[in-house]
Chains A and B, each alone.
Chain A
Amino acid sequence: MSQSGQRGPTGPDTDTTVIARTVTRLVVPIILLNAVALLLQGHNLPGGGFIAGVLTVTAFALVYVIFGREYLQRELLHSDASDGFFDGAVGEYSRTFTFGLALAALSGAGAIVLPAALGGEPFPFLSQAVVFVEHVPLYHEIEIPTALFFDLGVYFVVVGALLTILAVVGAE
């Protein structure tokens, strides 16, 4: 599986089959696209930040299994193993979930801050609102719930946290 054979400086660092690698190349973008679709449609159709996050992690995990940890870090995240513990991939992941948590909290604080800034009564923490943008080409009408930002936060937390766990445990 991900057990390495001979590793050249540029060659593939795993001993998986050509079929597996080709299929992965093909499938990973589709999975990611699906994840984004699930995230965006979550408010009205099955989906949402959590599912989208787990799906994204699945795509990463696939790359991980087929191409190896080093490849993932080098080619996708442009960091290499010689970087320190927190400068490498793990650092990216932990920053991701930190960002997600902050985004979720800030989107909730928006309900307090924004009305106050506009001169109205503040809503309780995490109150959500919906804005409909009309006359948009192709879509005609787009619904932007503030919950989307909260959901994005959920998404980033799930992606960052699961990838952290995957990277740390996988490195053992």
Chain B
Amino acid sequence: MQPEPAVLLAVLALPFLGAALIPLVYRVLGERTAYFAAGVAAVCLALLFTQYGMEGRVVVEWIPQLNANLVLYLDGLAFLIALLASGVGVLIFTYSGGYMHGEPWQAKYYTSLLVFMGAMLGVALAADLIALFVFWELTSVASFVLIGHYQRSESSRYAARKSMLITVSGGLFMLVGFLLLRFVAADAIGQATFALVGSPDSMIANAEAMRAALEESGLYLPVLALVGIGAAAKSAQVPLHIWLPDAMEAPTPVSAFLHSATMVKAGVYLVGRFRPLLITDEWMLAFAVLGLVTMTVAAILAVGATDIKELLAYSTASHLGLIVAGFGIANVYGGETGVLHILNHAVFKASLFLVAGIVAHEAGTRAIAELGGLREDLPITAGITAIAALGMAGLPPFNGFYSKELLFEATYEVGLEHGGLWWLLPVVAVFGSVFTFLYSIRFLMLFFGEKPSGLGEVHRPPWAMLAPPLLLAGIASYQALSYTGILPQVFLSGIADPALASVSAGEEAHHFDIHFPTKLSPYVLMSVVTIALGAVAYPFYDRLHHGVRRVRSVDLLSPNAYYDGGIAALVSVSDYVPRYVQTRLLRTYASTVMLGVCALGLGGYAAAGADIPAIGQLAQSVAAFVAGPAGLAIAIVLGVALVGAVAVSVAPSHIAGVLTLSILGFMVAVFYVLASAPDLALTQLVIETLVLVIFLLVLDKLPAFYGDLDVREAIPDALVAAVVGITVTFTVLTTTTDRPDTIARFFVERAPVPDEHGHVLLDYGGGGNVVNVILVDFRALDTMGEISVVAMAALAVLTLVGMRNRGENA
């Protein structure tokens, strides 16, 4: 069934409208703005549910002539991601109502969080690559603002800059990939299109043809790499994962929302969405390896974490790796792994982040070493943590176990099918999972054992903070029970199955078939090995922890060190910019601007293949002109003008220079009179007079005589002048020798000189002055633009010159 256009649009538009209203709402409601935002998210969620089960696209026309429309598409995968964004959004906003109590800049916080939610819904619903890209980058921008929420702290700013640089530059790689896809679509589909999904002429609908065309043009690997870099940057895949642990500078609800449940899912969403389009063996090699390496490396790093949010951040990167690996694997289980783990991970990781927020808020520290025995003070939180952390560890029968089983199954099948080195996939999957088990149990142990003596009094959290993780834990328990077969499998059949259909490519129709394993199969054995190894290794957790920290501190192995080094290099390079570009000397700016214009102009002519007009032809037409009726007079006038021009360049003082320049200008005006262009002549005269008067005004501020000429300065200036002169001459020659363009031909045909002159003008324009009628009637829109430019120039002078000292005082 087709989704209802108005409802789908409302789902997308409401968060942005809500964000625009937040500053006003905040004045009225104060800290209770959280519940307004939660309401907005809840409405989005409710509207989304009304569209449950629909599939199809919604086109909002913007510029139909240019085929520029906003196209939304709803299917299982889009629904899943949109569900996470709005559903977790409701919980996060509610939780923020408790967490953000007494925090600064709340209006900014809720505004950017709502904008983020809207952008994430946009990413999920976008049906073409441009909309996808725009919303994608918007999530990065919102994330930048949110990570830098405590804008006065240096570490917040560092973290915000880092995430911005990595995710946005990743997005730019992706954009190049999108452009290549559009280029290839011209061959494969018959038209260059950005449509990704949903229509018969979209890329995914023609996946086979697209893949063939990509392979043929040799662009498959570049596109795979570019899109992969975009997804990897966003989903914190090794080695681009370094921004995610730093992003924990953000308030904890932000971490829970952006950096576990939604924004980082944009990357895996992209991988899932492109899976049917690009899936091949190369795809599998790239993403399965990337995902498994990320999963393992990030899990090891999580063991080395000293802070609970840092632990969760690395763990998030690790689980995103698992999802990417799932989508990377080209068999049915791969797709199942990805889809199911998106759902499971969002549930358990969001609740763990919220738990971390409660612990940090109530115990006053996030250091793992200082925490323990929290069970006595936070019994409900401990229960929530047990359900979520055991799910994260992959222990049966909790939700994470089932998606991990699917990963083992998928990797095992790959090893069975391809053999050889592909057997490494299941081995790495088990190896990485051991570490996942270790840090999950370590997180759980915060609540058990003895309470360290340094830990002060731990308060009970308010209900606004406790209810959301409790609800998530409820969902997680339901998932556990339903996968096990005790309760109906609502999540599987209702949400995961439709999403599976969106990521499946060419595989036969497939449905989830999940139940508690009762027989010993190879992948059950893999789970057993994982848990057994984890249980054996857990007593040595502290040694592993210190070992990881020691390896991490080696600069050569740390992507962070490369990042910091790169940034430092950029900073030192940019120190050179003011020295050569921003010299605070007008002459530098003038020559930069003029040379830039000349380069663009001449480059344009070169690209368009403009010819240099033949000099002979030019001389011929000049001769014909001089031989005409007013030839002698014109020759004299131009001769005087030439004398004036020479006089300007040798004038000893400003007065002489200005006056001789005026000779030149007035001679040009006389030339216009002789060439029967009275309007031009009038304008030239008036302007010339005005310029002269203004010159008189500023003249006494300038030195009376020119200074001595410095050859070292004069030669570059002369070069610039020569280039500008050549460009202008060339421009005049090419534009005037060209054939009359359509506007000119229009008037030449309809208002021939002199008999019928004015006939058409009178009929259509109601005036006899051709210049003026063109200006105010035939081409009035051009004039409108020109006077806007004049007004803009005045505004620029007003603000740049007249108000330049106001910034500091106002």
Residues of A within 8 A of B (CB): 1-3, 38, 42-51, 54-55, 57-58, 61-62, 64-65, 85, 90, 93-94, 97-98, 100-101, 104-105, 108, 125-126, 128-130, 143, 145, 147, 150-151, 153-154, 157-158, 160-162, 164-166, 168-172
Query: Closest chain B residue to A100 by CB distance?
Result: B787
A44 and B768 contact, CB distance less than 8 A: yes
Q: How long is the Cα–Cα vector from A164 to B793 in the complex, in angstroms?
A: 10
| Contact sample, A vs B, 28 pairs, CB 8 Å cutoff | A1-B697, A38-B682, A42-B769, A43-B776, A46-B769, A47-B679, A50-B683, A64-B697, A65-B696, A65-B697, A85-B803, A94-B795, A97-B791, A100-B787, A101-B787, A101-B788, A128-B776, A145-B765, A147-B776, A147-B777, A150-B780, A153-B787, A154-B776, A157-B790, A160-B794, A161-B791, A162-B690, A170-B697
Q: Are B791 and A147 in contact (CB under 8 A)?
A: no
Contacts of A44 in B (CB 8 A): 767-769
Check: B1 CB closer than 8 A to any chain A CB: no
* Chain A residues positioned under 8 Å from B784 (CB to CB): 104-105, 108, 126
Task: Tell me if B68 counts as interface (CB < 8 A to partner A).
Answer: no
Q: Which of A58, A108, A172 has the most CB of B within 10 A?
A: A58
CA distance A90 to B784 in the complex (A): 23
Chain A residues with CB under 8 Å of B700's CB are 1-3
CB distance from A4 to the nearest CB of B (A): 11
Additional A-B contacts beyond A97-B791, A147-B765 (14; CB < 8 A):
A2-B700, A43-B773, A46-B679, A46-B771, A64-B697, A65-B697, A94-B794, A94-B795, A100-B791, A104-B787, A143-B766, A154-B783, A161-B791, A169-B698
State which of A3, A47, A168 has its C-beta within 8 Å of the C-beta of B797: A168
- Given known A47-B772, A51-B679, contact A168–B801 (CB-CB < 8 A): yes
> Could you tell me if B767 and A43 are in contact, using CB atoms closer than 8 angstroms?
yes
Say yes or no for B559: interface residue by CB 8 A criterion.
no
**Closest A residue, CB atoms, query B687:** A54
Q: Which residues of B contact A57 (CB under 8 A)?
A: 690
B775 CB within 8 Å of chain A = yes
Instruction: Give complex CA distance A169, B691 in Å.
Output: 14
Residues of A with C-beta under 8 A to B699: 1
Whole-angstrom CA separation of A154 from B788 in the bound complex: 9
| B787 with A154: CB separation less than 8 A | yes
Contact at B780–A165, with CB atoms within 8 Å? no
Interface size class of B (residues with CB under 8 A): 35 or more
Out of A47, A100, A154, A171, which one reaches B802, CB within 8 Å? A171
Q: B627 within 8 Å of A by Cβ?
A: no
B689 touches A128 (CB 8 A): no
Asked if residues B693 and A151 are in contact (CB atoms below 8 Å), the reply is no
A169 touches B797 (CB 8 A): yes
Residues of chain A with a CB closer than 8 A to B802's CB: 85, 90, 168, 171
Residues of A within 8 A of B795 (CB): 94
Contact A61 B694 (CB under 8 A): yes
By beta carbon, the residue of chain B nearest A125 is: B781
A130 to B768, CA, bound (A): 13
B535 within 8 A of A: no
Task: Pick the contact of B766: A46, A64, A145, A153 (CB < 8 A).
Answer: A145
Residues in A with CB closer than 8 Å to B689 are: 58
Tell whether, in the assembled complex, residue B686 and residue A147 are in contact, meaning their CB atoms are under 8 Å apart: no
A128 partner residues in chain B, CB cutoff 8 A: 765-766, 776-777, 780
Question: Which residues of A lie under 8 Å from residue B698 when comparing CB positions?
Answer: 169-170
- From 648 to 694 in chain B, residues with beta carbon under 8 angstroms from any chain A beta carbon are 678-679, 681-683, 686-687, 689-690, 693-694
A129 touches B766 (CB 8 A): yes
Q: Are A150 and B776 neighbours in the complex by a CB distance under 8 Å?
A: yes
Do B686 and A65 touch (CB < 8 A)?
Answer: no
The distance in angstroms between the C-alpha atoms of A38 and B682, with both chains bound, is: 10
CB contacts (< 8 Å) of A1 on chain B: these are 696-697, 699-700
- Cβ-defined contact, A45 with B768, below 8 A: yes
CB proximity to A under 8 Å, residues B413-438 = none
Q: Do B780 and A126 touch (CB < 8 A)?
A: yes
A50–B769 Cα distance when bound, in Å, is 14
Question: A158–B790 contact, CB under 8 A?
Answer: yes
Residues in B whose Cβ lies below 8 Å from that of A43: 765-769, 772-773, 776
Instruction: Please give me the residue from chain B that is nearest to A165 by CB atom.
Output: B797
Given known contacts A58-B690, A62-B693, A147-B777, is B679 in contact with A48 (CB within 8 Å)? yes
- Interface contact B696-A49, CB-CB below 8 Å: no
Q: Mark B747-776, 1 if CB is under 8 A from A, else 0.
A: 000000000000000000111110111011
Per CB-CB distance, the 7 closest pairs between chain A and chain B, nearest first, are: A130-B766, A43-B767, A161-B794, A44-B768, A147-B776, A46-B678, A168-B802
Q: B residues within 8 A CB of A100?
A: 787, 791
CB distance from B631 to the nearest CB of A (A): 23
Cβ-closest chain B residue relative to A167: B802
The complex places the Cα of A151 from the Cα of B777 at a distance, in Å, of: 10
Across-interface contacts of A94 in B (CB, < 8 A) = 794-795, 798
Which residue of the partner chain B has the closest CB to A54?
A: B686
Residue of A at shortest CB range from B793? Answer: A161
Contacts known (A104-B787, A165-B793); A58 close to B693, Cβ less than 8 A = yes
Q: How far is the CA of A162 from the CA of B683 in the complex (A)?
A: 15
Report the minimum CB–CB distance from A167 to chain B (whole Å).
Answer: 8
Q: Contacting B801 at CB < 8 Å: which of A47, A48, A51, A172?
A: A172
Closest to B778 in A: A128
Expressed in whole angstroms, the Cα–Cα distance for A73 and B699 within the complex equals 22
If the complex has contacts A85-B802, A153-B787, A169-B797, are A48 and B771 also in contact, measured as CB distance less than 8 A? yes
Give CA–CA (A131, B777) in the complex, Å.
Answer: 15
- Given A101-B787, A164-B794 in contact, is the A55-B686 Cβ separation under 8 Å? yes
Shortest beta-carbon distance, B691 to chain A, in Å? 10
A100 to chain B, nearest CB (A): 7
Which chain A residues lie closer than 8 Å to B794 at the CB level? 93-94, 97, 160-162, 164-165
- How far is B770's CA from A44's CA once the two chains are assembled, in angstroms? 8
Chain A residues contacting B798 (CB-CB under 8 Å) are 90, 94, 164, 168
Residues of B within 8 A of A161 (CB): 790-791, 793-794
A33 to B795, CA, bound (A): 28
Whether B791 pairs with A101 at a CB distance below 8 angstroms is yes
- CB-CB nearest in chain B for A153: B787
- List the B side residues contacting A145 at CB < 8 Å: 765-767, 777
**Bound: A89/B767 CA distance, A:** 36
Asked if B682 contacts A51 (CB within 8 A), the reply is yes
If A108-B780, A130-B766, A166-B694 touch, whether A42 touches B687 (CB-CB below 8 Å) is no
Residues of B within 8 A of A158 (CB): 787, 790
Task: Please indicate the chain B residues that have their CB under 8 angstroms from the CB of A143 in the complex.
Answer: 766
Do A164 and B797 touch (CB < 8 A)?
yes
On chain A, the residues within 8 Å of B693 by CB distance are: 58, 61-62, 65
Residues of B within 8 A of A168 (CB): 797-798, 801-802
Q: Find chain B residues with CB under 8 A from A129 CB.
A: 766
Inter-chain CA distance A97–B792, complex, in Å, is 10
Among B693, B699, B777, B787, which residue has the most Cβ atoms of chain A within 10 A? B787
Q: What is the CB-to-nearest-CB distance from A37 to chain B, in angstroms, rounded to a whole number?
A: 12
Q: How far is the CA of A101 from the CA of B766 in the complex (A)?
A: 23
In the complex the two chains form, what is the Cα distance from A105 to B772 in whole Å? 18
Minimum CB distance partner of A101 in chain B = B791
Q: State the Cβ distance, B385 to closest chain A Cβ, in Å.
A: 61
The answer for the CA separation of A153 and B780 in the assembled complex, in Å, is: 12
B797 and A51 contact, CB distance less than 8 A? no
Whole-angstrom distance from the CB of B750 to the nearest CB of chain A?
Answer: 17
How many angstroms between the C-alpha atoms of A32 and B781 in the bound complex? 28
CA distance A46 to B769 in the complex (A): 7
Known contacts A1-B700, A2-B697; A58 and B781 CB within 8 A of each other: no
